[in-house]
Amino acid sequence: MKGFLEMALIHKVDQIIKDEHLLDVEDSIVVAVSGGPDSMALLHILFLLAEANKWRLVVAHVNHQFRGEESDGEAEFVAAYARQLGLPFEMGVINVPDYIKETNMNGQAAARELRYDFLLEVANKYQARRIALAHHADDQAETILMRMIRGTGTLGLTGIPIRRWVKNVELIRPLLRIYKSEVLQHCEQQGLSFCMDSSNTHNKYVRNQIRNELIPLLKQYNPQLPEALNRLADVIGLEDDYLKQEVDAAYQKLVVEATNGIRLPRSGFALLHPALQRRLIKLILSYLAPNASSFDFLTTEKVRYAITQDTPTTLSLSLGANIIFTREYEQMYFRLTSTVSSGYQFSLESGEGKMELPDGMLLSYFVSVSNAADRSQPKLSRSHETAYFDLDLVNFPLEVRSRQDGDRMEIHGLNGSKKVKDIFIDAKLPLRLRNQVPLIVDAAKRVLWIPGFRRSVHAIASSTTTQLLCMELHRTK
Between CA 276 and CA 471 the distance in angstroms is 51
Counting other chains too, the contacts that 287-292 makes at CB distance below 8 Å and 24 or more residues apart are 287/262, 288/261, 288/262, 288/321, 288/323, 288/334, 288/335, 288/336, 289/321, 289/322, 289/323, 289/336, 292/320, 292/321
Between CA 366 and CA 8 the distance in angstroms is 90
Between CA 389 and CA 466 the distance in angstroms is 11
Between CA 80 and CA 324 the distance in angstroms is 53
Binding residues, as ranges, are 34-39
Judge residue 158's burial from the number of C-beta atoms within 10 Å of its C-beta, 0-12 exposed, 13-18 middle, 19 or more buried.
buried
Binding residues for ATP, as ranges, are 34-39
